[in-house]
Amino acid sequence: MPELPEVETVRTGLSPAMEGAVITRAQVNRPDLRWPFPDRMADRLTGRKVERLRRRSKYILADLDGGESLLIHLGMSGRMTVSGDPLGQFVHDHPAAEKHDHVVLDMDNGARVTFNDPRRFGAMDLLPTDGAQAHPLLARLGPEPLGNSFDGVYLAQALKFRRSPIKAALLDQRVVAGLGNIYVCEALFRAGISPLRRCDRIASARLTALAPIIRDVLAEAIAAGGSSLKDFRQASGELGYFQHRFEVYGREAEACRAPDCGASIRREVQSGRSSFFCPQCQR
């Protein structure tokens, strides 16, 4: 499932084609994805100007001039791609329609935005822009890890009494929004913290130091266009490249890249998710 860097990469890629443009035609080709689409979604989108694209956790929100926002979640295999952009950001002509093109938005600048989702675990909803934070999918989210409210002091306070493993705590979207399996594994490796260690058994200084490491990992992944493992593509259709810089994720039994380490990367299953780590470097 795309994590924060992938979603932010998609949002940035969609922005030149959508922000300030009017949706001249919205085509909705099925009644639902993971959940039913909102009532009359195509009619409510058609003719609306996209005033702003923003991201909250792993969701994209398109704020419309009619007072509603389109909430988008990519799910496991969802892609939003742009074709026919007259601004020169994209070189693709409009492609032939594909089987899993579930929502298609034609913009008044000539761009077409297509949401394709073979596995249909994605979602779209329309909600009032004012008070959007009260939506059930957004209401309980923690701070953005790249925002001003997330720092070492907050993270240490949030985790110091938790008895759960640090990996599970960081995946809890109520603690910090947008983190997923890949980037938690990578951040914990850089911090030298085992994903198996309980939060309440980690020194506050180590938890405090973890916050800027998380921010650095996410920023580097965004700069690399995210990570493409199976389905993820940028809005231009290109792959992300951060997967080539993984230190631990997906590298089970391979040698740790830390100088003079000599250990092999291990994989442990925690709550149904694979945790990759170096048993020598991470304690």
Q: Which residues are catalytic?
A: 2-3, 58, 273
Judged by DSSP in three states, 243 sits in helix
Judge whether 13 and 79 are in contact, CB under 8 Å. no
Give strand ranges (E) for the chain: 23-28, 50-56, 59-64, 68-73, 79-83, 101-107, 112-116, 123-128, 266-270, 273-277
3-state class (DSSP) for residue 6: helix
Residue with tokens 């603690």: 175
Packing angle between helix 4-18 and helix 204-223, nearest 10 degrees?
40
SS3 157: helix
C-alpha triplet 115, 116, 117: angle, nearest 5°: 120
